[in-house]
A and B are shown apart, each in its own frame.
Chain A
Amino acid sequence: MNQSLFLFASIADAPIAVRASEVEAVVRLGDIVPVPLAPAHVRGLAALRSRVLTVIDMEARIFGKSGLGDDASLAIIANIAAHSHGFLVDSVSDICRAPADAQPVHGRIDPAWAPFVSGLVEYDGRSHLLVTLADFAAAGERAA
C-alpha cells in the first residue's frame, strides 16, 4: 500500500490532514498586520524572517467567519503560486505516514466543508478531513 506523509492538524474542532509535500513548516507567527479591502479569510501579513507571509484564516474561509481569537498564531507555512502563505490552525498534532489514497467521505459532511474536502485520511483511529492548502489561498466567493 502506498504511504505518504501527512500533517495532521485541527481547525474549527475538526481534524484535518494536509499532504506534507504542500507544507514547508509550522511556526508561531509574530504580529499580523491587517490588510484592508481583503476578503475576510485574509488575516493579514506576517513576517517570517525576511519573507512576508499572507496569513489565511482557514476557518473564516470555510464558514465565512472565524472562531479564532486575535491572538491565533500557529500557522502552517506553504508556498503557493510563488507566494508564501501562512494558514492559521488551532493545533497541530503530528506528521505521519498514512495510506496515500484518501478514503471517500462517508456520511454527509457540513456543506460549508464540502468544497474543501477531497477525502478522509485515517490516522490514530480517527478520520481526518483531507484538504488542499491551495484551495484556501485563492480569492474566494466569500470575499467580504
Chain B
Amino acid sequence: MDEILGEFIAETLETLETLSGEVVAWEADPADQSRLDAFFRFFHTVKGSCGFLHLPRFERLAHHAEDVLTAVRRGERQADPATVSAVLAVMDRIGALARALASDEPLPESDDDSLLDMLLVGGDERGLAPNADVAADAAPTADAAPTAASPPRASDAGPIIGRATAPPAGEALPDPAGSGRAGERAPRTIRLPLTLVDQLMNGISDMVLARNDLARRMRERAMDADLESSFERLSANVADLRDMISKTRMQRVDRLYAALPRMVRDLAQELGKQAKLALDGGEVEMDREMIEMVLDPLTHIVRNALDHGIETPAARRAAGKPETGALHVVARQSGNQIVIEVRDDGAGLDCAALVEKAIATGLVTPADAALMSEADKLDLVFHAGLSTAAQVTSVSGRGVGMDVVRTNIEQIGGIISILSTPGSGTTIAMRVPLTLTIIPGLIVHSGRHVFAMPRSNVVELLHQNSAMVSIETVGGARIATIRGERHAFIDLEDVLHLGREKMAGGPRTLMVIRSPAGQPYVLGVQAVESHEELVIRPAAPVIAASGAFAGMTLPDNGRPMLLLDAAGLAQIARLPLRETDGWQRTAAPHAEAVPEPTMQALMFRERDGAHRLIPLAVVDRVEDIAAGQIAPCGAGAFARLEDRLVPALNAGPPDAPRLKSLRLHAGEEQLCYLIDDVVDIIDVPLTLDVGLASGRLAGLVMVGEQQLEMLDPFALFAEARAQGPASRPAEPIRCLIPDGEDVWMRTILAPLLMQAGHEVRFGPPDADHAADVILCSETAPEEAPPPAGCGATPVITLGDDAQAAESPDTVYRYDRDRIFAAIARVAPPRDHATRDVA
C-alpha cells in the first residue's frame, strides 16, 4: 500500500509541477479549452486515486474542483479570475497535502472549507451555482468524515474573493519549510526537455570524435610527455562525460508501474475479482525508450493475468486459496538485461486446451503434439490465433494476443518466456536489453562494405573450413550442417546484392544467426572483425525501406555504418519463418535453459603453438623439467622424474633449457605430456561438440568464439604404453648371478643391472630368495650348472661370440640392449624400464 501511496504522491506532485507552468497562461486566457482540460484531468485523476487510497481530504478537494471545472467546460460558468484563483488554491492545497504525506508528517490542519467556499463563491457571483443554503453547518470534517455526504457549502458567502485574497489558506500551509524538507528526503530533480538531452548527447558524441581525431594526429607526430598526459586527462574526462550523459537517458521502472495499480483495481472491479498488486524493483533503471517499448506488453500481460489467471473469489475459495488473488510484478537487472516478471497465483495455463486448440487450427498435428515437451506446449500461447480464453471478454482475448506481445518484446531484442503450474499460477518473464540505443555489435566485413550485427543475434561464429561445418547445395538451397544441425545458409553479399567480392580473400566466416522472427540461419561473411559498443540511431525511411537494416551507427572512426537486421535479412532471402515449425527449433536457447553439465578442462598451448584442451581430472600436476631430464628412445622418449622413468609424449628436440610438462595420471600409470605453457582452466560441456576420435584427439569443443581440440587421455596412455612399459621402481627384477666369482659378471654386468634399477644377487639360488631371472656365463665352469633349486626360473646365457649367440636363451654379452630386452622378455609379468638414462 505504501508503494502505491508513494506512487500517487509522486505522480501528483509531478503533474502539479507540469501544470504549474500552465497556471499563468490559464490566468491570462481562462477560456483556453486545452488548459482547462489538463486541469480537469488532474483533478479527475487525483479524485480517482484518492478514493482508492482512502484519502478523503484529497478526494473532497478534487471533487469540488472537478465540479467547478465541469461547469466551466459546459459553459455554465465563466472562468473568471476568482474561479481561477480558487481552483489554483485548491491545487496548491493538494500539493501541500501530498508533500506532507510524503514526508510522513501529520496532514496540516487547515481549513479546506474556506477553499471550497471560494470555489462556490465564484459561481454564486454568476448566480449559477446551486443554492447555497444547504448544510451550512457541515463542519470542517476533513479526515474524520471520509465520505462527506454533503459537501460543506457556504451560506454566508462573504464578499467576492479576488486574487488578492485567494490564498487565505496559505498561512496554514507548511509551504517553505515543508517542501524544503521534502526536498531533502527525495532526490532533487529537475525537468528538462528531451531535445536538450539529445543535443547534449550529440554534443558529447562530437567531442568523442574530435578527441579520436586529435589522438590520431598526435600519434602521427612525436609528442612530448606533458602534452600527452594532459591529453590523457582530457580524454578520460570526455569518456566520463559520455557515460554520465548516457545515464540521463535512464529512467526508473517506477514509470512503468505508475498506471498499473489503477488499472488492476478498475479491472478487478469490472471482472468481479479481487486482486492485490505488489510492485517490486521500481528503482531499477532502464532506457527511456525501452520503457516506452515495454509498457504495452507489460500492460497486456497484467491484464491477461487478471482476466485469465486469477479466478473469481468463489472459484478461489473452492480451490482453497485466499479470495484475493496475488499479482506480483518484479523488475530486476541481470547483467545488461532487465528482467520483468509478472507472477499470479491463479489457475495457470491450461496446457491441454492450448494443444487442443493448436491441433484444431492446424498449427500442429496430434503426432507433433505428442512429442512436445510441456515448455513447448506452453510456448504455443505465443502463437497467433491461440488463446485459451473460453470466451472473448471485454478485457482480453480480443485478438491482441500473446503473439503480439512476443513480437514486440523480440523486436527490441528481448526474450519472453512463460512458466505455468496448473492450479497455482503463471509466471511470465520478459528479458529486455538495458538500452535500445547502445548495443554490443560485431563488425562484419564484406569487401569494402562494413556492417554491424547486433551481438544478441549471433549464436556463434565458425570458420567456413572448420571441421564442424559442411555445406551442401540441394535444389538451389544451400544448407550448412553444423554439428549435425541443418541451417539455411545465405551469403551476406547475395542478400545485399553486393556482387561476388567474396571470391577474393581466404576462408569466410559463418555466423549462426538467431533472428526474432525466424529459424536460426547461417550467414556467410567475409570476415568478422571486432566487437564494439555501438550507439544506434534510426535509419532514414528510404534506407529502412529495404528491410535489411535496423539502424545506423557512427563508430569512433567517423565512418557511418549500417546495422544489419537479422530478421530482415532472413525475410529478403525468403527463409522459412518460425511459425511453420517453431517448436522444432532447438538451437534458440530458451530464457530458462537448463545449463548443460560441464567439466573442467585445462587449456594449454602445445609446443607447436596450437591451443588444446585436456580434461583437468587426468592432470596430476604441471611441472617444469629440465631438457636434460628427457631422453629420447627410439620413436618415443622418457622423462626421469624423481626416481623413476615416465613415458614422455611430445618430447621432440628441446627448444629451451626448461620445459613445461603436464603429469597425467591414470591410477598407477603416469605420463608426461610436454607443452609450451598452460593457458587457463575453463568449463566445457561434458559431451564434445564434435566427436573426432582420431589419434590423440577426442574431438572439438566450442569455447567462446573458438573451437578447441580436446585431447583424448585414453589415446595418450595407450600411446605411452606402446612406447614402452612405464617404470615401476617398486618391483625391480631380481637377477641372480650364480657365479659370483666371474669378474665380468660382478664388475661389468652387475653394476649395469643395478643402475637400471634391478636387484642383483650372487650365489647359488635358493628357495628363500626367489629370482626372476638367472644370468649365466656361457663359459661358466661345468660344476656350476643352473641348480635344480631354481625350478622354473628362466635362465639367460651370455655368450662370448656375437655370431654364435643365436639360441633364444643365449645373448652376446656385449649386446646390452638385447640383454635387457631378454631380461624384460623372460621376466613377465613385471614391468621395468630397460633403458639407461644416465
A binding-site residues for B, Cβ under 8 Å: 30-31, 33-39, 42, 45-47, 49-52, 54, 56, 80-81, 83, 85, 137-139, 143
Q: Establish whether residues A34 and B539, one from each chain, have CB atoms under 8 Å apart when the complex forms.
A: no
Cβ–Cβ < 8 Å partners of A31 in chain B: 559
Docked pose: A65 CA to B662 CA in angstroms: 68
Q: Establish whether residues A54 and B559, one from each chain, have CB atoms under 8 Å apart when the complex forms.
A: no
In the assembled complex, the CB of A88 is this many whole angstroms from the nearest CB of chain B, namely 14
Q: Establish whether residues A38 and B546, one from each chain, have CB atoms under 8 Å apart when the complex forms.
A: yes
Q: Establish whether residues B542 and A38, one from each chain, have CB atoms under 8 Å apart when the complex forms.
A: yes
| Complex A-B, nearest 5 residue pairs according to Cβ-Cβ distance, in ascending order | A50-B205, A37-B546, A45-B560, A36-B496, A54-B540
Residue among B537, B538, B562, B572 with max Cβ neighbours from chain A (10 Å): B562
Cβ–Cβ < 8 Å partners of A30 in chain B: 558
Q: Could you show 13 A-B contacts with beta carbons less than 8 Å apart? A: A33-B449, A33-B561, A33-B562, A36-B546, A38-B543, A49-B209, A51-B202, A52-B552, A54-B540, A54-B543, A80-B540, A85-B540, A139-B545
Interface membership of B497, Cβ < 8 A:
yes
Cβ–Cβ < 8 Å partners of B209 in chain A: 47, 49-50
Docked pose: A42 CA to B541 CA in angstroms: 11
Cβ–Cβ < 8 Å partners of B549 in chain A: 35
Cβ–Cβ < 8 Å partners of A37 in chain B: 496-497, 546, 548, 572
In the assembled complex, the CB of B727 is this many whole angstroms from the nearest CB of chain A, namely 67
Q: Establish whether residues B202 and A50, one from each chain, have CB atoms under 8 Å apart when the complex forms.
A: yes
In this complex, the interface size class of chain B, counting residues with CB under 8 Å from chain A, is 20 to 34
Q: Establish whether residues A36 and B498, one from each chain, have CB atoms under 8 Å apart when the complex forms.
A: yes
Residue of A nearest to B551 (CB): A52
Q: Establish whether residues B539 and A49, one from each chain, have CB atoms under 8 Å apart when the complex forms.
A: no
Of A36, A47, A50, A138, which contacts B559 at CB under 8 A? A47
Interface membership of B577, Cβ < 8 A:
no
Cβ–Cβ < 8 Å partners of A36 in chain B: 449, 496-498, 546, 548
Cβ–Cβ < 8 Å partners of A143 in chain B: 545
Interface membership of B283, Cβ < 8 A:
no
Cβ–Cβ < 8 Å partners of B553 in chain A: 52
Docked pose: A81 CA to B542 CA in angstroms: 11
In the assembled complex, the CB of A110 is this many whole angstroms from the nearest CB of chain B, namely 23
Residue among B208, B450, B558 with max Cβ neighbours from chain A (10 Å): B558
In the assembled complex, the CB of A138 is this many whole angstroms from the nearest CB of chain B, namely 7
Cβ–Cβ < 8 Å partners of A81 in chain B: 540-541
Docked pose: A33 CA to B557 CA in angstroms: 13
Q: Establish whether residues B206 and A49, one from each chain, have CB atoms under 8 Å apart when the complex forms.
A: yes
Q: Establish whether residues A52 and B545, one from each chain, have CB atoms under 8 Å apart when the complex forms.
A: no
In the assembled complex, the CB of A76 is this many whole angstroms from the nearest CB of chain B, namely 15
Docked pose: A51 CA to B552 CA in angstroms: 10
Q: Establish whether residues A52 and B554, one from each chain, have CB atoms under 8 Å apart when the complex forms.
A: yes
Tell whether A47 pairs with B558 under 8 Å between CB atoms, given A38-B543, A54-B542: yes
| A-contact 0/1 string along B316-343, CB 8 Å cutoff | 0000000000000000000000000000
Docked pose: A88 CA to B572 CA in angstroms: 30
Cβ–Cβ < 8 Å partners of B554 in chain A: 47, 50-52
Docked pose: A142 CA to B119 CA in angstroms: 65
Q: Establish whether residues B543 and A34, one from each chain, have CB atoms under 8 Å apart when the complex forms.
A: no
Docked pose: A39 CA to B560 CA in angstroms: 18
Cβ–Cβ < 8 Å partners of A47 in chain B: 209, 554, 558-560
Q: Establish whether residues A52 and B542, one from each chain, have CB atoms under 8 Å apart when the complex forms.
A: no
Q: A42-B543, A81-B541 are in contact. List 20 more A-B contacts (CB 8 A).
A: A33-B561, A33-B562, A36-B497, A37-B496, A37-B546, A37-B572, A38-B546, A39-B542, A45-B552, A45-B560, A50-B202, A50-B208, A51-B554, A52-B553, A54-B539, A83-B539, A83-B540, A85-B540, A137-B542, A143-B545
Docked pose: A47 CA to B561 CA in angstroms: 10
Q: Establish whether residues B542 and A42, one from each chain, have CB atoms under 8 Å apart when the complex forms.
A: yes
Docked pose: A134 CA to B212 CA in angstroms: 34
Docked pose: A31 CA to B558 CA in angstroms: 9
In the assembled complex, the CB of A17 is this many whole angstroms from the nearest CB of chain B, namely 23
Residue of A nearest to B542 (CB): A139
In the assembled complex, the CB of A132 is this many whole angstroms from the nearest CB of chain B, namely 15
In the assembled complex, the CB of A29 is this many whole angstroms from the nearest CB of chain B, namely 11
Cβ–Cβ < 8 Å partners of A33 in chain B: 449-450, 559-562
Docked pose: A18 CA to B294 CA in angstroms: 42
Q: Establish whether residues B562 and A45, one from each chain, have CB atoms under 8 Å apart when the complex forms.
A: yes
Q: Establish whether residues B497 and A46, one from each chain, have CB atoms under 8 Å apart when the complex forms.
A: no
In the assembled complex, the CB of B100 is this many whole angstroms from the nearest CB of chain A, namely 43
| A-contact 0/1 string along B527-570, CB 8 Å cutoff | 00000000001111111011011001110001111100000000
Q: Establish whether residues B538 and A50, one from each chain, have CB atoms under 8 Å apart when the complex forms.
A: no
Residue of B nearest to A49 (CB): B206
Cβ–Cβ < 8 Å partners of A85 in chain B: 540
In the assembled complex, the CB of A37 is this many whole angstroms from the nearest CB of chain B, namely 4
In the assembled complex, the CB of B543 is this many whole angstroms from the nearest CB of chain A, namely 5
Residue among B449, B538, B548, B559 with max Cβ neighbours from chain A (10 Å): B559
